[in-house]
Amino acid sequence: MTQQLTNPALFYGEGEVDGGPGLKGARCSACATVVLQSAPVCPRCFGRSMQPVCIGRRATLGLSSRVYHSADGFAAPYVIAEVQTEEGPRSFAPILVPVDAPLPHGLPLRFVLVPRPDGRVGFAYAPEA
Amino acid sequence: MLPPVYIRGVGFHPFGRWPDRSLRSLAQTAALAALDDAGLAPSQIQAAFCANAYGGLLNQQESIRGQTWLRGIGVSGVAVVNVENACASGSSATHAAVLGIASGQYEHVLVVGAEKMFVNDTARTLAALANSADTEVMSNIGLQFAALDAVRVREVMEEEGLDDAALEWVTVKNHDNGVHNPMAQYRKAVTADEVRASRMIADPIRLLMCSAISDGAAAIVLSRQPGRGAVRVRASALACSPWRLDVGDMPGPTVAARRAYAQAGLGPQDLDLAEVHDAMAPAEFIYYRELDFCAKGKVAQMVAERATALGGRLPVNPSGGLNSRGHPVGATGVAQLVELTLQLRGEAGARQVPDARIALAHNSGGWIGEDPAVSAVHILEAER
């Protein structure tokens, strides 16, 4: 059965891409700039040869917040943070840690797929084992 | 330099919960008040720019909201443009209206911003708000706007050495200001203890720091000729979220602010007061830096000096800001300009900034990439 992803424009599911799952990105063939998601034009050199790549399989923790108000299908409390992918682009993501866990900058993280209550597959980042 | 454009009239419908008022009636009340204040008849208006963000999602009126607002008040047969640009819809509509006059196309233009967010279903309203972020990236990850601002506030706290007491202070400050504003949703002072005791929403943002959902409307009339107080629009700048590929690349609000300062031939040192987009009260601190009110590393000093309180060297959000005035999204950017016009005319009552002559409004909307999707900055000057 085909997995239904919560954000199909943002991340690759299981078996969708070599080296996945991970975030969707694009790399400029001319200047090697990498951006989050697909993009037809490089924002640095304006070249039009952006190639799809899987990024963000590993990332580090940036600034974060413990959220105490349920929203968007997420039951509070939970942790949301800015993550820095190893390829460069940053994004926001839920972090799979206990809400009272320490959240140090630079904590190594790995991309994980997460089943959602509605049957779709979402994603999050978890501390590297 | 911008050709002469003046704010000739201002009006509003008070912000709050108005179950018996439709979106249309809110907008009409504000528009008529602005026309009366300008001393103009509806027939003298040549164009109208109407701002609203969620009328489709919350009020089942798509596409022609402005036309539905204005037909009943006698504005007919003229150019009406509907503007939707997230929380910066009102300032975006103003930007277009300013250009309409500056180009020589129009003599008198009406700007109306209105929103009706109380629909007896808070979850539906919050879901509508969430649609103002890049939904492909930010939906389904638990990133409500309070959490987004919480992360941004954490950054400014860490970089500027701000503590929870600073967050409480700015919330108290804006509620104190809102007490004196007849437009404000919350005209009640709060104490630091009450702020500290309020429910944590997204650490470090507590309930009393958050702007509330709101019904309300605000309107201005722009003209080529000055009205009472001769309040001139010296700059009108919009910037979408810039790519930030390298360390040191400017955030969107800074791009808009520096564009506005250059257009006006003025700098932050010339400002007498400002209204900034404090959807969460502590977000003010982010904008002290990003609008060049102070250098990086100097925010804590501004807080220690109470520089942005009434009586300080640069009062910020004398209206109470979004935090206290309320945040009916499409109306907010216009409401900021209503406040600044009253201030520059000397008509702001107990919240008046003495001898105010130059003022800045900053309105942000949505989120994409690493910045608000829209950043708008207007600079006004009382010519006297």
Residue A119 has pLDDT above 80, yes or no: yes
**DSSP category for residue A14:** T
Answer whether A9 touches B (CB < 8 Å): yes
Which residue among B95, B108, B175, B327 is the active-site one? Answer: B327
Contact call for residues B314 and B301 (beta carbons, < 8 A): no
Q: Are B211 and B364 in contact (CB under 8 A)?
A: no
The first and second tokens of residue B44, run together, are 């003298």
Whether pLDDT at A2 is above 80: no
Best of B136, B138, B141, B244 to disrupt the A interface (most A CBs within 10 Å) is B141
| Residue type present at position A93 | A
Query: How large is the angle between the packed helices B164-178 and B145-160, nearest 10 degrees?
Result: 120
**Three-class DSSP category at B12:** strand
The reply to whether omega before B14 is within 30° of 0 (cis) is: no
Q: Of A1-10, B9-18, B190-199, give the lowest mean pLDDT range.
A: A1-10
Give residue A1's pLDDT.
Answer: 58
Please tell me the CATH code under which domain B137-210+234-382 is placed. 3.40.47.10
CB atoms inside a 10 Å sphere around CB A14: 11
Fold match between B6-121+215-232 and B137-210+234-382? yes
- CA dist A8 and A4 (Å) reads 8
Contact list, A44 vs chain B (CB under 8 Å)? 243, 245
Cis peptide before B204 (omega within 30 of 0): yes
pLDDT score of B15: 98
Prediction pTM value: 0.98
Mean of pLDDT values over B205-218: 97
Predicted confidence (pLDDT) at residue A71 exceeds the cutoff of 90? no
Rg over alpha carbons for chain A, rounded to the nearest Å, is 15
| Residue ranges of domains in chain B | 6-121+215-232, 137-210+234-382
Query: By three-state DSSP, how is residue B115 classified?
Result: strand
pLDDT of residue B273: 98
Interface contact A9-B245, CB threshold 8 A: no
> What average pLDDT is seen over chain B?
97
- Within 8 A of B282 by CB-CB distance, chain A residues are none
CB A61 within 8 A of CB A105: yes
* pLDDT, tens digit (0-9, with 9 covering 90-100), for B255-307: 999 999 999 999 999 999 999 999 999 999 999 999 999 999 999 999 999 99
Please give the mean pLDDT across all residues of chain A. 96
Report in angstroms the alpha-carbon separations of A78 from A23, A86, B183, B249: 21, 24, 36, 31
| Apex B247 CA angle, B245 and B251, nearest 5 | 75
pLDDT band of residue A72 (cuts 50, 70, 90) is confident
B158 touches chain A (CB under 8 A): yes
Taking the mean position of all CA atoms in its chain, how far away is CA B266? 21
Residue linked to tokens 């939906």: B139
Helix ranges (DSSP H) in B103-144: 122-130, 135-138
Instruction: Count the alpha carbons within 13 Å of B114 in the hemisphere toward its beta carbon.
Output: 34
> A17 at the B interface (CB within 8 A)?
no
Residue B171 has what DSSP assignment?
H
Q: What is the DSSP string of A60-127?
A: EEEEEEEE-S-BTTBPSSEEEEEEEETTS-EEEEEE-S-TTS---TT-EEEEEEEE-TTS-EEEEEEE
Q: Closest Cα partner for B171 from B144, B135, B202, B210?
A: B210
Each domain of chain A, given as residue ranges in start order, spans: 11-127
Which tens digit of pLDDT belongs to each residue from B238-261? 999 999 999 999 999 999 999 999
pLDDT score for B384: 79
Identified catalytic residue from B13, B50, B87, B277: B87
User: Using N-to-C axis directions, what is the helix angle for B283-290 and B252-264, rounded to 10°?
Assistant: 50
**Domain B6-121+215-232 falls under CATH 3.40.50.10210:** no
Q: With an 8 Å Cβ cutoff, is A114 touching chain B? A: no
